[in-house]
């Protein structure tokens, strides 16, 4: 076959391959553009919904405050009225129940606002170990009241990181509250097991070689089942009576806003170890 024919065939095959490759590139580019556009629309919609729900929650808080205040005033006025003691007692108990439910709704709304509201961080250089130590001192009376022994093991060297101190404290405090509540009624074969809450900090390298501050909140509670662990960070999932199920999702959201991550290790009957990792300052 003449050389010119081979050249023509090669050129045709090359052009065809280039056209196919170009179509694939264009198709992929269009797909990425569409995905990016959908994500942008979704983010915009979520932001809009977040603003609406936050406003709605604030609107609900106002009448709740009015109901709570008037319930208190009615109770005080009722105590001054002379008459049927049994009837007064029944009315007082009903007003007390009303006040408790108002406070519970306030708590639910507050948790919701913290989870759904805009999260703005005020980052400052802080020693993470010092922050955890302060939180341990603050929480000690509550742990003592619950019959829980606290132990704090801090890293020997400072763990300096750019963090929002109050927000990070909130994230760790949620874990501590969960731990104490989990140990509320821990028994082992009829014997009351030791209740211990351990706060630990250390330095750790992640898989990418980044230096991280590791915060551990360890308890000797009943542990968490594999089924519950799969749902534990889902909003409104809770195994506690009266819980809102927003504490842990809020904690994880705060940690992730710091470019960190939250994990847990647990086994039924052997307690739970929550772990927060925050990048250390360079």
Q: What is the pLDDT of residue 88?
A: 74
Please state, in angstroms and rounded to a whole number, the distance separating the CA atoms of residues 64 and 59: 9
The answer for 240, left when phi > 0, alpha when psi is -120 to 50, beta otherwise, is beta
pLDDT category of residue 199 using cuts at 50, 70 and 90? very high
- Asked whether residue 189 carries a pLDDT value surpassing 60, the answer given is no
Average pLDDT, the chain: 79
- 124-279: CATH topology is Heat Shock Protein 90 (3.30.565)
217: nearest Cα among 256, 185, 169: 169
HSE (CB half, 13 Å, CA atoms) of 2?
Answer: 3
Please state, in angstroms and rounded to a whole number, the distance separating the CA atoms of residues 251 and 244: 13
Q: What is the pLDDT of residue 7?
A: 47
Segment 150-171, tens digit of pLDDT: 999 999 999 999 999 999 999 9
Q: How many CB atoms lie within 10 A of CB 151?
A: 11
Segment 132-149, tens digit of pLDDT: 999 999 999 999 999 999
Q: Which position has the higher pLDDT, 86 or 219? A: 219
Q: What is the pLDDT of residue 126?
A: 94
Please state, in angstroms and rounded to a whole number, the distance separating the CA atoms of residues 247 and 168: 13
Segment 234-254, tens digit of pLDDT: 877 776 665 667 788 889 989
Segment 4-56, tens digit of pLDDT: 545 455 555 555 556 555 566 656 666 676 666 666 665 565 555 555 566 66
Segment 46-94, tens digit of pLDDT: 555 555 566 666 667 777 777 777 777 777 777 777 666 777 777 778 8
């Amino acid at each position: 076959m003449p050389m010119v024919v081979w050249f023509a065939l090669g050129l045709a095959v090359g052009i065809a391959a280039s056209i196919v490759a170009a179509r694939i590139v264009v198709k992929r580019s269009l797909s990425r553009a569409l995905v990016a556009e959908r994500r942008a629309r979704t983010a915009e919609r979520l932001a809009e919904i977040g603003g609406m729900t936050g406003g709605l929650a604030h609107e609900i808080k106002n009448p709740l405050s009015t109901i709570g205040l008037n319930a208190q005033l009615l109770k005080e006025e009722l105590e001054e009225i002379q008459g049927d003691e049994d009837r007064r007692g029944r009315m007082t108990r009903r007003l007390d129940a009303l006040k408790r439910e108002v406070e519970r709704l306030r708590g639910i709304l507050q948790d919701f606002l913290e989870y759904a509201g805009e999260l703005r961080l005020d980052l400052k250089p802080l020693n993470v170990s010092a922050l955890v130590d302060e939180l341990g001192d603050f929480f000690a009376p509550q742990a003592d009241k619950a019959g829980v022994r606290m132990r704090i093991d801090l890293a020997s060297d400072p763990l300096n990181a750019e963090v929002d101190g109050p927000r990070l404290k909130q994230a760790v405090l949620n874990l501590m509250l969960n731990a104490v509540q989990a140990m509320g009624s821990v028994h082992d074969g009829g014997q009351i097991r030791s209740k211990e809450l351990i706060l630990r900090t250390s330095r750790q390298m992640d898989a990418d070689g980044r230096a991280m501050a590791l915060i551990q909140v360890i308890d000797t509670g009943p542990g968490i089942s594999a089924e519950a662990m799969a749902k534990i960070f889902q909003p409104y999932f809770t195994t506690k009576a009266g819980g809102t199920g927003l504490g842990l999702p809020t904690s994880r959201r705060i940690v992730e806003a710091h470019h960190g991550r939250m994990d847990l290790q647990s086994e039924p009957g052997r307690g739970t170890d929550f772990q927060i990792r925050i990048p250390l300052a360079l």
